[in-house]
Chains A and B, each alone.
Chain A
Amino acid sequence: MNAPPKAITGPSTFLDDRLGAGNFLKRNLRKVFPDHWSFLLGEIALYSFVILLLTGTFLTFWFKPSMGEVNYLGNYAPLYDVRMSEAYASSLHISFDVRGGLLVRQMHHWAALLFVAGMTAHALRIFFTGAYRKPRELNWLIGVGLLTLALLEGLTGYSLPDDLLSGAGLRITQGVAQSIPIVGTYISFFLFGGEYPGHDVIPRFYTIHILLIPGILLALISAHMILMWVQKHTQMPGKARTEKNVVGAPFYPAFMAKSGAFFLFTFGVIALLGTFAQINPIWLFGPYNPANISAGSQPDWYMGFLEGALRLMPAWEINFLGHTVTFSVLIPALVPMGIIMTGLALYPFLEQWVTGDRREHHVCDRPRNNPHRTSIGISAITFYGILWLLGANDEISANFHIDLYTTTWFGRFAVFIGPAIAYWITYRTCIGLQRKDAEVLSHGVESGVIKRMPNGQYIEVHTPPAEDIAEHIRGKKEIPVLTGSADGDGIPPKGARSAIGRLRTRMSEAYGTDHVPLTDGHHNGHHEEEPAAVGAGERKELH
């Protein structure tokens, strides 16, 4: 094409005359985006959010957020003439009387599960590669906020249909709220407009679910995107990739088209799930009644860890001066969530404090190259995972014929022991992988060629690794270590003299000490410790 068509130049000129958009486009049309499969995880969450907005808007056209009681007169025969709330009746109406209603409802639910799953996987990617480091701490904090809000959004969303299962979740939420010291009963009465269940909670949750939280999510996601755009993407270590550049494909046209395609894939997969994988069949549960419950009630996956924590906690309640504190509700409801979210939010700053590292980082760490960080992450996943798993201990007990109380007791110990074991295994695995890397660099890789030496000795020929892989391995960065050692006069630096200072120095040493420094075999073909290895110069004759 020699000149853009008039249909494009006309409006473009119009806009540029008024907005000066050309300057922005000049800088950004060819903005470079690095490529790695794990960079798509956040996009899954982003596109799920878009799909949630689309499907959710469709659902609001028919959903009636009211707890007023009606007799159901719709098409679903088994519940005909049953007394229920308008919310539940309109959810049945969407499912059975609106063409595509069931599909969109199921897609909305699946998109919600995928939204939180995508965010979680994305957050783990960021954590394990250290992509939260300076200058991206603020975006990391926004991400933690997004994850917390997404949990709330999910909770308010699945309470809306007012079926028996969602009512069980709401009842537990109320029971937890009521147990909060001093203000608990007030929170509960203000949220529910009086005693549980009242007639206000669904209209209130509706407003929170479709206006308040989505509005905040939209604002935070926009900020998240803008910061990502301004600070540029991180990249995995590799050839020609430095802390000072970005290597990849341009926004226009390649990245744009790829992202569009990935949105379509996400949408398509959610459509497939919504079609063929039934989710939340509310018509089977019946209308909510606080006197009823069905066995095996399970929340959506992202609430599972809280459910598990509630189940594992032993009974513990104290009374003093006429007041009651129920630790058996408070601890599981607040502590795991607090540990995980606070831990996530503080980690970048704690790491900076421990390593003293105030530099900018744009090249990602491979998880093995920061073994303590990776071990902490895997420990947290184990902690979360055990709670999550035990949130379904009744299902485990029923399906695997294990005594119910045995699963609880297992969980009570495993939630402490599991993370410790996971830490040790992960740490050793990281060190092992680092040793493997060092070996690949220093000794090369097995070529599969056996060579007979003039003296009759047989050796396997090692060849240097492929350049791109070698560069990937050489991307390992040293973790800075604070020096707390005494100077020539035997006086340690000022910051390291207090108890906290000494602790910081010790932690820094443990965190940053490199146990497997890379000795690059690139420049010397032969290695004395392993005479069998043959360098690059000798390889040609083998082919």
Chain B
Amino acid sequence: MTEQNEYPESGRVPTRVIGTPPADAPIEEHDPIHEPAGVEGVIPQDPVKVRKAERMVAFLFLITFLAGAAFIAAYVIFQVGTIDKTATSNYALGGTLALALLSLGAGVTVWVRQIMPKYNLVQERHLMASDSDTREYVKETFLQGADESGFVKHRLLRRTLLLAAAPLGLAPLVLLKDLGPLPGTSLRHTVWGEAMKNGKPRRLVVEGTGQPIRAADFNSPGGILSVVPEGYEEDLNALAKATLILLKFRPEEIKSGTNKNWTVDGIVAYSKICTHVGCPAALYEQTTHHILCPCHQSTFDAADGAKVIFGPAARPLPQLPLGIDEEGYLVAKSDFKVPVGPSFWERGDAEAEVREKA
């Protein structure tokens, strides 16, 4: 009975327990299903099953028709505008589209599997490589052409052609130069260093509301405030470098890493732009004074000059020298002493330079 375990005509790998006979293995010695009829390797389906499958396929195609019509109807009936209306329209359009596509796909699949014959066709492969005669011919033709063109013989032609191509090859690169200005020293400065038009120092204002901050009123030990430069509240390029976080400490909490000359009544301002790859370091844990960047979890000790405690950032968040103006509002005494944000090749050890100067 070994021969009955064979599964000769189907190219499919059956899904069943290893070694057990296939479910549709014929009981009879003569197998009417797998009997090759007509063309070898093309095994027709059982006509009874074909008729049943035909009805199934027709039913699925009918569903596609109805769902397709419903899709068009849904487009007309359901308008968008509010959140709820958009949601309804989305469900109606997407639901009908998905139904139409899936039932069409299912219909075609049943058609292929149960109406079209099963196939076990065999085709020969041929080596990809061409035969040696062809190779020889191509080689000869190549050499002949090279000689005829004079490319080999005329050295001057060859060299001037290469010479001619060189600047043309560079031209597209040269054209790209005006994609942007050269960096210059722009990464070293922020708008905190620019003088106001009226000559007064630039105030710190609350991000979102634009309110200036009176040193005496900012009294929230434990909290942080996101602060932007006055006059640049909406300038994204300025904000990408100049945004600050403002914290207030009790005097005894401030450690040596923080420059106390740059604080006002225990109020400290650090750059909000992470020194790793530039995400805003926006999370703060007040019990530990940890500033955390949500992107890659660089953690900084706010009480100790925002030095790095954990994570991939290699440098502390730069501290901004703070002062107050005559009306008692917080202002920047100067720009950051070191470049803010992610590192770059030309940056160098700016912190060491500052220490040397001090």
Give the interface of A toward B (CB within 8 A): 30-32, 34-36, 69, 75-77, 83, 95-103, 106-107, 135, 168, 171-172, 174-176, 178-186, 188-198, 200, 231-232, 236, 238-240, 243-250, 253-254, 257-258, 260-265, 267-269, 271-272, 274-276, 288-297, 307, 310-311, 313-317, 319, 322-326, 328-329, 332, 360, 362, 393-394, 404-405, 408, 440, 444-447, 463-469, 472, 536, 539-540, 543
Contacts and interface: CB of A to CB of B under 8 A. Distances in A.
Contact of B13 (A243, A465, A472): A472
Contact of B236 (A182, A188, A232, A289): A289
Nearest to B101: A268
Best-surrounded residue of A99, A261, A272, A543 (most CB of chain B within 10 A): A99
B186 to A, nearest CB: 6
Contacts of B345: 180-185, 323-325
A245 B122 CA distance: 6
Given A236-B13, A254-B116, A172 B295 contact: yes
Interface of B: 1-2, 5-8, 11-14, 18-22, 75, 78-83, 86, 89-91, 93-95, 97-102, 104-109, 111-112, 116, 119-125, 127-128, 176, 179-183, 186-187, 207, 226, 228, 234, 236-237, 239-241, 243, 272-273, 276-280, 282-283, 294-298, 308, 310-315, 341-349, 352
Best-surrounded residue of B1, B86, B310 (most CB of chain A within 10 A): B86
Contacts of B119: 248-250, 254
B106 to A, nearest CB: 8
A465 B19 contact: yes
Nearest to A232: B125
A145 B241 CA distance: 36
B243 to A, nearest CB: 4
Best-surrounded residue of B102, B122, B314 (most CB of chain A within 10 A): B314
Contacts of A179: 277, 342-344
B277 A171 contact: yes
Contacts of A444: 19
A78 to B, nearest CB: 9
Best-surrounded residue of A100, A179, A258, A267 (most CB of chain B within 10 A): A100
B50 to A, nearest CB: 15
B108 A328 contact: no
Given A292-B282, A543-B1, 16 more contacts: A32-B122, A100-B93, A102-B80, A103-B97, A172-B278, A178-B278, A181-B345, A261-B105, A265-B105, A265-B106, A292-B280, A310-B296, A315-B308, A323-B345, A326-B314, A447-B19
Closest 7 CB pairs of A and B: A275-B94, A175-B277, A445-B19, A264-B105, A317-B314, A268-B101, A268-B102
B344 A246 contact: no
B83 A96 contact: yes
Given A99-B79, A181-B345, A468-B13, A293 B295 contact: yes
A254 B125 contact: no
B276 A466 contact: no
Nearest to A265: B105
A289 B187 CA distance: 19
A168 B279 contact: yes
Nearest to B294: A295
Contacts of A328: 276, 312-314
A247 B11 contact: yes
A331 B7 CA distance: 54
B343 A291 contact: no
Contacts of B106: 261, 265
Contacts of A95: 86
B315 to A, nearest CB: 7
A405 B112 contact: no
Best-surrounded residue of B111, B127, B183 (most CB of chain A within 10 A): B183
Best-surrounded residue of A69, A297, A315, A543 (most CB of chain B within 10 A): A315
Best-surrounded residue of A272, A325, A393 (most CB of chain B within 10 A): A272
B277 A329 contact: yes
Contacts of B2: 464, 467, 536, 539
B79 A189 contact: no
B90 A445 contact: no
A110 B82 CA distance: 24
A322 B122 CA distance: 69
A74 to B, nearest CB: 10
A269 B101 CA distance: 9
B128 to A, nearest CB: 4
Contacts of B176: 190
Contacts of A315: 298, 308, 311-314
B13 A96 contact: no
A189 B181 contact: yes
Contacts of B102: 264-265, 268-269, 272
B103 to A, nearest CB: 8
A249 B100 CA distance: 27
A30 B121 CA distance: 9
Contacts of B8: 239, 467
Best-surrounded residue of B86, B187, B295, B296 (most CB of chain A within 10 A): B296
